[in-house]
Amino acid sequence: MSKIRPDDLDTRPEGEQPFVLDIRPREAYQAQHIDGSHNLPVYDDLRSGDEDALRQRLDEVPRDQEIVTVCKMGVVAKRATRILVDEGYEATTLAGGMSGWRGYQSGTLGYKIRSLLWRLY
């Protein structure tokens, strides 16, 4: 399953930005999110194993764009990415989720170390 690092997502050229699908609960999304992202709050459902929660809402996800899924840490977003790929979407997961995004935005040492590890693996 493919991943995209926060710095790679942020530096995409104009016109090449993917559809960023944030699957976290609405409250978490409202508290902080990636500019231009779209909230489809199916995190709790996917976490509990209910894949139909996302499948039933696929009409809200464009088929003609690359999709980048986002959750808290990236784990549940991987499930969403797998479902989207199974349904014929071009989808990838944001490495580290919103935690990784915040670390990237803040330039934290933890993010820099994780980013180095992501590059190696």
Query: Domains plus CATH for the chain?
Result: 3-120 (3.40.250.10)
What is d(CA 83, CA 52) in angstroms, rounded to the nearest whole number? 9
Report the distance separating Cα 5 and Cα 118, nearest Å. Answer: 8
Adjacent-strand bridge partners of 33: none
Write down the pLDDT at residue 1: 60
Q: Could you give the CA distance from residue 105 to residue 93 in angstroms, rounded to a whole number?
A: 18
Task: Express each pLDDT in 55-88 by its tens digit.
Answer: 999 999 999 999 999 999 999 999 999 999 999 9
pLDDT at 114: 72
Task: State the 10-residue block means of pLDDT for the chain, 121 residues long.
Answer: 89 92 98 97 97 97 97 96 97 94 82 72 65
> pLDDT value at position 112?
72
Exposure string over 15-35, b if 16+ CB within 10 A, otherwise e = eeebbbbbbbbeebbeeebbe
